[in-house]
Chain A
């Protein structure tokens, strides 16, 4: 067991920084480099893969025991930290945001997965994307995406997780829209719409996450300090923090002081946080962006929309699990289980080879979410499924990409068939991973899916709650459909007679970089689950992975906290129920596997039953499933049109009422001015003119007297004098 040293932290810091550096060089100089710079990023990713695998095996894999192998002091004092808001150290901690690295079991596992898958996808892309007119930009973007994903995993606080989370969304936007600027692409318009839809839909979830985050940031320390003042908690006053360890510690003590009850606001905040998962991990009803995102190049679908970015939602759920109240977890189970079944039914009707895989991804993410919701060992199972799913689903997508590449960009399975001989390597890889996703024993998916079903059975046996029971029905059903649609894909693509001779004639196996990547991922799909066996396979305790992801428990106890926070949500599984659950789970898993396989074999392999007959019998039900339950139409009709209506309405208000008022005031002013001008001209000036005119008139009367004759003046003067004299004498 090795505790991380400062040097280890520097090594971890290099993990996201290598692709970032690669991006900067590539975006400015990539076009002029030999081979447009792909070897540089490929080399960088190879180093990243080596570091992540090395760190995983040295630090995480061999780790047992209650003490965390990461230490906090290395993160804050000696290790690399990043002061974000202020660069001065005298700013109090809750004002500044100091980001560090949290390399625990979950991060170790996820980092390894992303490192390996990213390298192989880069390798695959160098063959698949060859000849693309924006080849260097593609590599730059996928490199920056890798940076964001690796940064997200290593973040020790939820705000930086959010920063990388959004950055990934942005890179996903650019990569889905890769063909939206390519005049040669027939689907240029679809790509342009799809990238917008993906970013916007996830943005809804992201905003929820941000709000949940703000709630935890503000209310957690407040509640903690209140309880401290009441004496319910012993300790020191705390300050606001985004760091996971602080959130877990504060949350745990609050719940403990509350007699194990979560405060109501924590449920609200947890629900908002879960909104982030719903958006990013494409859970119902925000799943609508993921099938459209298949407009992006296939390596992008493999990496971002199957193995890494969409798994980030599950990762977040794992990170924030201790903050989720039992009520929220019920919703989590319900959403996850519903999504798993819902998407699996659609997957059975899709004819686009990538479309099948897209719905399959949504469905598998539903499995993970539901499993984490069951708590206890479910969280281990869900996160483990995230690991194995990344391997086999990336492989399935890349195989599909290889098929599409071989068939000259034909994606419709109805036009394929019989490709087994033409593309043997692709066929073998895809078959292996189909067995893995179907849950064939000894393949990777078996270990994780079996655990998920076991944990659902366990939780239902201990707690007879609605969501648990629903999951108990929905998940095995979804698992059966998974096997069915995956083998349907295999039979339609690789077996039978070629349905389009032209495509078949020109089909060819893919070049070496692509097949090499496929073989690498397929072997992980085969053996990637055997890590699970590095303990007692039949026991639910003591496997190394269980230890790895129970970090929060370890953290709280290692700090002297008495609360075992994870176990608050862990259903007390007794030996007996655990054993029962496990035996049942194996039985259920194997029987649904067999059922699904034989159904697919019967209909598509042996063609004993014409699928058209089934669809015609199902009638409207089939149409509803085929049209994806009209969710897109419903969203278009309500949300999109509503928003646009609101926008147009508010625009009208702005132009006519608010600006109208302003213009009205203006017009009123001008009217008043005109009125004043009239008054001024006619009344005020009129009065003045009247005075003038009157004076003039009087003057003209007076003028009559002004004759200029001296005799007249003298006679007036004499007359006047006489009058005065008379007046004087008479009075």
Chain B
């Protein structure tokens, strides 16, 4: 069986071009003189714009959303002795995220204008980061996946550690070590799978997992697949970040410069969710089914707890960071519910949170660039000198709040309804008695608290920053500039367009998600 569908019609070098374009850009930037920052910025802009055009073309053109399986596949042997292949391809899960990546990196370049100590190295690292992220989304070989995963880590460390805020070293090291711990777990799991099944290829591993073909020994009373599941889950959960592995995120966000926060919240967190869907659940579906309720509980804790902690913050950016924790809880809850709607909601939430949280961080960045502080209690009445900024901030924050008509509502509603439909953990007696209620019904009910609390912290923050009496210190603030609008507007337009026409994402994912659901519900 040709799992990759490597027939000649399907092959393509497009994905490799897409992945390595930022690398070419990086080389060009390296050749430019460090003194000519303007040329460097333009080069970076061009080399993030070309992938955006390419990805957009792929999204609306090359990619066939009616076809099941991987597309635009490229496959050849890389390290023959170890059975490692260079194999890339996309399906409905990775294609939207690939597009999102190119959008956010393109936006990050103009948004970098106000980063202090901006230099050539910054753009070199930014382009390297894009290479890593794109690589993870296209990899179909677990080893390749791991390599790209590690490539991503390094530039992020320096971007936070050099261009960050006052406590940047602390935040960078915390980020690096935490994520590295996850990587190690992933590496162990990958090697274990390789030793057991003899392949690094993700499609082959999925096929073996579906057939129950892993024969590894049980250890400490847990089966081989359970071990693999937990190792991979923790590896990706750190990235999501799922409760209780989330504390690196607020520090990283608060210290990182605005464009890096945008990328961190917009894409890097999605890698965790994507990793679960690509490299964890379908490989060990039986273990996933066993522990789905644990994941659901973790998701709901993140939703409610994250919202409460966000409400308790007085730092604007930290509040948005915790709102990310809360919103990414929906991803976990939706996946764990094991329903079509929940899975769609989770996958869509990754995209919608990508745009809305990126927009929120840009909004925070605008006010930070002017006031040089982020204390929520230190503002007030900013809507008066900055009416256009207020309008855009309202859209960004209400999209994040999940206002119907905006992108966040669709994914949250799908997730909630999907989670409520879940039959995970239903006992036969409960079904027989007609009391159609199980753990996920309770979890959904609890998660609604998070929805109310989300409204609370966002409205309270908006009130303290924008409404009421104007803080005299800030009366002369300039309204949002054309450059800032240039970064922010595309995201806000996407927020609204996807709220009204969510099928611009859902249609693309539909086939892949129903395939995935077949795999996940197969063993049970």
Contacts and interface: CB of A to CB of B under 8 A. Distances in A.
Interface in A184-214: 188-189, 191-193, 195-196, 199-200, 203-204, 207-208, 210-211, 214
Contact of A222 (B403, B414, B436): B436
Contacts of A192: 463, 467-468
A193 B463 contact: yes
A163 interface: yes
Contact of B451 (A207, A219, A666): A207
A648 interface: yes
Nearest to B318: A651
A85 B503 contact: yes
Contact of A218 (B417, B435, B460): B417
B244 A658 contact: yes
B467 A180 contact: yes
A181 B416 contact: no
Given A88-B510, A200-B456, A659-B247, A643 B311 contact: yes
Given A180-B468, A210-B413, A222-B436, A163 B311 contact: no
Contact of A214 (B394, B417, B456, B460): B417
A163 B452 contact: no
A188 B468 contact: yes
Nearest to B387: A181
Contact of A643 (B247, B448, B456, B507): B456
Q: Binding site of B, secondary structure by majority: helix, strand, loop or mixed?
A: helix
A650 B312 contact: yes
A155 B446 CA distance: 29
B390 A181 contact: yes
B119 interface: no
A163 B405 contact: yes
B453 interface: yes
Interface in B432-486: 434-437, 444-445, 448, 451-453, 455-456, 459-460, 462-463, 466-470
B448 A210 contact: yes
| Contact-residue size bin, chain B (C-beta under 8 Å from the other chain) | 35 or more
Contacts of A170: 398, 403
A88 B514 CA distance: 15
B502 A85 contact: yes
A614 interface: no
A196 B437 CA distance: 35
Interface in A137-164: 159, 162-164
A29 interface: no
Contacts of B177: 666
B235 to A, nearest CB: 16
A640 to B, nearest CB: 9
B236 interface: no
B308 A646 contact: yes
Contacts of A207: 448, 451-452
B312 A651 contact: yes
Contacts of B174: 662, 666
A690 B435 CA distance: 76
Q: Binding site of A, secondary structure by majority: helix, strand, loop or mixed?
A: helix
A87 B507 contact: yes
B467 A86 contact: no
B404 interface: yes
A369 to B, nearest CB: 22
B451 A662 contact: no
B313 A651 contact: yes
Interface string A58-91: 0000000000000000000000000111111001
A647 B311 contact: yes
A392 B64 CA distance: 58
Given A85-B506, A214-B420, A650 B308 contact: yes
A636 to B, nearest CB: 14
A248 to B, nearest CB: 20
Contacts of A203: 451-452, 455
A263 interface: yes
Interface string A167-188: 1001001100100110100001
B309 interface: yes
A39 to B, nearest CB: 23
A654 interface: yes
A95 B340 contact: yes
Interface in B276-320: 305, 308-309, 311-313
Contacts of A643: 308, 311, 453, 456
Given A170-B398, A211-B445, A647-B309, A181 B503 contact: no
B428 to A, nearest CB: 14
Contacts of A83: 503
Interface in A619-655: 643-644, 646-648, 650-651, 654
A265 interface: yes
Contacts of B246: 658
B368 interface: no
A217 interface: yes
Nearest to A203: B455
Nearest to A170: B403
Contacts of A199: 455, 459
B178 A662 contact: yes
A183 B506 CA distance: 45
Contacts of B448: 207-208, 210-211
Nearest to B173: A666
A661 B178 CA distance: 13
A206 to B, nearest CB: 9
A446 B146 CA distance: 76
A607 to B, nearest CB: 42
Nearest to A189: B468
B409 interface: yes
A265 B462 CA distance: 38
B459 A200 contact: yes
Interface string A646-679: 1110110010001101100010000000000000
B341 interface: yes
B263 interface: no
Contact of B308 (A167, A217, A647): A647
Nearest to B177: A666
Contact of B309 (A240, A651, A662): A651
Nearest to A205: B452
Query: Which of B178, B313, B394, B451 lies at the interface centre, i.e. has the most chain A CB atoms within 10 A of its CB?
Result: B451
Contacts of B112: none
Given A95-B340, A183-B384, A643-B453, A218 B405 contact: no
Interface in A208-243: 208, 210-211, 214-215, 217-219, 222-223, 226, 240
21 contacts: A83-B503, A84-B502, A85-B503, A87-B501, A162-B404, A166-B404, A166-B405, A180-B468, A196-B462, A207-B451, A210-B451, A211-B444, A214-B416, A214-B444, A218-B421, A265-B435, A643-B311, A646-B308, A647-B309, A647-B453, A662-B247
Given A203-B455, A214-B444, A218-B417, 8 more contacts: A84-B503, A85-B506, A207-B452, A210-B413, A214-B416, A265-B437, A650-B312, A651-B309
Which 4 residue pairs are nearest across A and B when measured between Cβ atoms? A651-B312, A192-B467, A163-B404, A647-B312
